[in-house]
Structure 1
Amino acid sequence: MKLTASKLNKFLLFKLPAAFICGVRVKKIDETDCTVTVKHRWINQNPFNSMYFAVQAMAAELSTGALVMYQIQKSGKKISMLVANNKGNFTKKATGRITFVCKDGHLIERAIQESVATGEGQTFWMKSIGTDEKGVQVSEMDFEWSVRIKK
């Protein structure tokens, strides 16, 4: 069963309801890229009339984590995944619809192969860039993922 945007959005509803309620949605996923959007609304705002940073982090993390899930599924192996570290940089107020794009899917396959070959966990960093409707960058988030073959 291929991982699709609609299947990931259903996953959000049942497994990550806070993200779903805040409006985080996967728009596109393939082997290398994932696009996630979230619209600034009352439910996800901060006191400064922009999107709360944690909502941006949920959307950014999903754009990276969905790619990890995609590659794990493609491998056919039982592999655990975990965020080991993250960092964020916020450059502009996030208002309107914010789109997070991660184009680092190519990094995952090699880490999975190495974990399968050695039995050891592997880590790698993935970047997600958040832009507003005008194409202006509002945030940049990096997530260090850890993958390990299950024994």
Structure 2
Amino acid sequence: MNLTASKLNKFLFFKLPSAFLCGVRVKEVGENKCVVSVKHRWINQNPFNSMYFAVQAMAAELSTGALVIYQIQKSGKKISMLVANNKSSFTKKATGRITFVCNDGHLIENAIHETLTTGEGQTFWMKSIGTNEKGEQVSEMDFEWSVRVK
């Protein structure tokens, strides 16, 4: 099965409805890059008239997690995945459409190879950068993923 943006958005609807209702959508997914966007609206706002940080985190996590799913499917093996840690920084109010881009797909292949070889869990950090419509960075989020053979 090829992993596509539309299949991931369908997955959101059925398995992560809060992200779907908040407007989180996958725009592009490939071997090394994933693009996810979300628009600031009433349902995902904070009291300061910008996007709530947790909505940004959902979109950013999805941009990294979709790449992990992509690489796991590519391996053809049964591998579990879990966010072990995360950190974030916010540099500007998130208003309008925010686009999160992760270009760290190349980090996953090695971790999957190691967990398949050793049977031990492997961890790695992935970064997602959120920018507004003007191209200004509004947030940067890092997720530590753990993968392990089932």
Q: TM-score, normalised by structure 1?
A: 0.99
Q: Distance in 1 between matches of 2:20 and 2:109?
A: 28
What residue number does 2:25 align with? Answer: 25
What residue number does 2:127 align with? Answer: 127
What residue number does 1:40 align with? Answer: 40
- CA displacement, residues 47-68 of structure 1 (integer Å, 9 cap, x when unaligned): 0000000000000000000000
1:94 aligns with 2:94: yes
SS of alignment partner, residue 93 of structure 1:
coil
1:2-151 aligned at under 5 Å gives the runs 2-150=2-150
SS of alignment partner, residue 94 of structure 2:
coil
SS of alignment partner, residue 49 of structure 1:
coil
1:97 Cα deviation from its structure 2 partner: 0.1
SS of alignment partner, residue 138 of structure 1:
strand
Gaps of 5+ in 2: none
| Aligned partner letter, 2:125 | W
Q: Distance in 1 between matches of 2:29 and 2:69?
A: 11
1:73 Cα deviation from its structure 2 partner: 0.2
Q: Distance in 2 between matches of 1:76 and 1:12?
A: 22
Runs of 4+ that moved beyond 6 A:
none
| Aligned partner letter, 1:148 | R
1:128 Cα deviation from its structure 2 partner: 0.0
Identity of aligned residues (%): 85
> Once superposed, what is the RMSD of the aligned Cα atoms?
0.2
| Aligned partner letter, 1:77 | K
Q: Distance in 1 between matches of 2:15 and 2:106?
A: 26
Number of equivalenced pairs:
150
Q: Distance in 1 between matches of 2:25 and 2:51?
A: 15
- CA displacement, residues 81-128 of structure 1 (integer Å, 9 cap, x when unaligned): 000000000000000000000000000000000000000000000000
1:139 Cα deviation from its structure 2 partner: 0.0
